[in-house]
Structure 1
Amino acid sequence: MPRPLVDVDSAPASAFCLTDALSPSTSPWHTHRRHQLLYAASGALHLEVAEAQWLLPPQRAAWLAAGTRHRVRTTQPATLCTVYLKPSRVPSAPSGDCRVFVLPPLAREMLLHSTRWGPERSPRDPVAESFFSTLAHLLSEWSAEPRDWRLPRARTPELERAMAYTLAHLSGPVTLAGAAKAAGLSQRTLARRFDDEAGTSWRRFLHDARMLRAMELLAEDGARVTQTAYAVGFESLAAFTHAFTAFTGERPRDFRQRVAEGTTPLPSPTRRKRRG
């Protein structure tokens, strides 16, 4: 029998963990009155906020401040693990609306352990209260060094079309001219719009998108580094390895192995009214 839907903002406990098995889908844009620590125990999550988007494979988490408008997208099955905290439980909250960071081993183990306390838990459970207080105090330390592994979001239809064209052609030849044609702009105008609106160049956007896509592919079961390199438009394995290492700080093979070893089964998911 499926579990009942949960309204995370109305749960009586001030802090709890919720898990969810996600199929490929995109959640609606939404907000919560609680802070969130968002984590993919398996698979990969695409997190979007107003002006940026991130990929969250295992070993990486996102801090979302209460009230931050966001949505979550998955292109493959994934297991979501989210800790919800009332703002009063986090006296020293990380700055900003959203921070993405690498999870240290202790953080990951605490997140997995927190799954024992779901939204239905007793608000007076002394062990749970102590556990979530400790986790809340450690948040600022864990998120002290955020990683800039993100892509900007478009603010105009023209740039949105250019970005969509680029993202759809990561595996093959893709040019600024093609992106400009998709946007209905000249190449010079598109280059200027990327700089002014997205704060980056089109070529940098393409490079970072390829790296993020590679990270997503390497997080899949049975992933192969060579196939991943070709899938994101590289003709040379050596060039891909160099680019990936410079972007992430580790070789593709090491990243794939670490993610594979980090995947841990979670308890049966709790269904909820709003995802992410």
Structure 2
Amino acid sequence: MPRPLVEVDAVPASTFCLTDELVPFSSGWHTHRRHQLLYAASGALHLEVAEAQWLLPPQRAAWLAGGTRHRVSATQPATLCTVYLEPSHVPAAPEGDCRVFVLPPLAREMLLYSTRWGPERAPRDKVAESFFSALAHLLVEWAAEPREWRLPRARTPELERAMAYTLARLAGPVTLGGAAKAAGLSQRTLARRFEEEAGTSWRRFLHDARMLRAMELLAEDGARVTQTAYTVGFESLAAFTHAFTAFTGERPRDFRQRVARGVTLPVHATAPPRRRKRAG
């Protein structure tokens, strides 16, 4: 029997958790009226907002303020666990439209526990209301120290071409000269445009893109650290391990083992994005 579809903004309950088992997909650009706490219990989600993009493997979550235009996608199967909070239930919301942060153990357990209250829950369930109220208050503390594991988004066609060229060649070889040629700019002009428009250097963009791609690859079933290192342009495992550990705070092997621990959750299917708003 097919699962019932959920139109998120039409759910009567003010706060609830929605879960879904996702095959490779893209939600399309959309907004939700409620605030949102987005989390992948397994696999990895790719989150985009107007000026930035992030990878969300387990142990990392995103706060999205109500009304924030965003897009969520996944290149491999992932388990979605997202909590929706009525703005009036979050009196001291985190600053900004989007903040990505590391989930402490308590946060992860609370998110997994929240799956007992799906979109069909009784709107006046006092236990649920108390639980989500506590979650909303703790959220402010958890999101106080965001992690800048992100890539900027281009605002002009030239920089978009340079970024696309770079992202398509993470395994190498890739050069600033090649990116500049793809953008139709001189190397000096492209370097300046990266600093002015994206707030980073081209070389830093390449490095961070390789790290984020490595995190995505390591979240896949059967991933191997050595193969991942070569796939993202490193010639030695030692150099990759050093770079990855400096970027994430943990060794690739430890990251892979942690992300590989799957979590089984109840599923509340969401409507296809073209007809209704999909979770994400």
Corresponding position: 1:264 with 2:263: yes
Most deviating of 164-173 and 264-273 = 264-273
Counterpart for residue 153 of structure 1: 153
Q: Partners of 2:235 and 2:100 in 1: how far apart? A: 30
Counterpart for residue 46 of structure 1: 46
Q: Deviations over 1:73-101 (max 9, x none)?
A: 21111111110001011111111110001
Alignment of 1:50-89 (within 5 A): 50-89=50-89
Alignment of 1:99-248 (within 5 A): 99-248=99-248
Contact (CA 8 Å) 2:43, 2:259: kept in 1 or not?
no
Q: Which of residues 265, 272, 277 in structure 2 aligns to 1:274?
A: 277
Unaligned runs of 5+ in 2: none
How far off is 1:12 after superposition? 0.6
Unaligned runs of 5+ in 1: none
Q: Deviations over 1:182-228 (max 9, x none)?
A: 11111111111111100101000000000001111111122111111
Q: Partners of 2:277 and 2:9 in 1: how far apart? A: 10
Structure 1 ranges of 4+ moved more than 4 A: none
Q: Deviations over 1:151-199 (max 9, x none)?
A: 0000011111111111111112111111111111111111111111001
Q: Counterpart of 2:116 in 1: which secondary structure?
A: coil
Q: Partners of 1:253 and 1:71 in 2: how far apart? A: 29
How far off is 1:3 after superposition? 2.3
TM-score by length of 2: 0.96
Q: Deviations over 1:24-48 (max 9, x none)?
A: 2222111111000000111111100
Q: Partners of 2:11 and 2:140 in 1: how far apart? A: 24
Contact (CA 8 Å) 2:18, 2:267: kept in 1 or not?
no
Q: Partners of 2:110 and 2:40 in 1: how far apart? A: 14
Counterpart for residue 20 of structure 1: 20
How many residues are treated as equivalent by the alignment? 275
Q: Deviations over 1:246-275 (max 9, x none)?
A: 1111111111112223x2111133223323
Q: Partners of 1:114 and 1:159 in 2: how far apart? A: 41
Q: Partners of 2:267 and 2:81 in 1: how far apart? A: 11
Q: Partners of 1:270 and 1:85 in 2: how far apart? A: 19
TM-score by length of 1: 0.97
Counterpart for residue 31 of structure 1: 31
Contact (CA 8 Å) 2:4, 2:268: kept in 1 or not?
no
Q: Partners of 1:249 and 1:166 in 2: how far apart? A: 25
Counterpart for residue 255 of structure 1: 255
Q: Partners of 2:163 and 2:229 in 1: how far apart? A: 21
Q: Counterpart of 1:9 in 2: which secondary structure?
A: helix
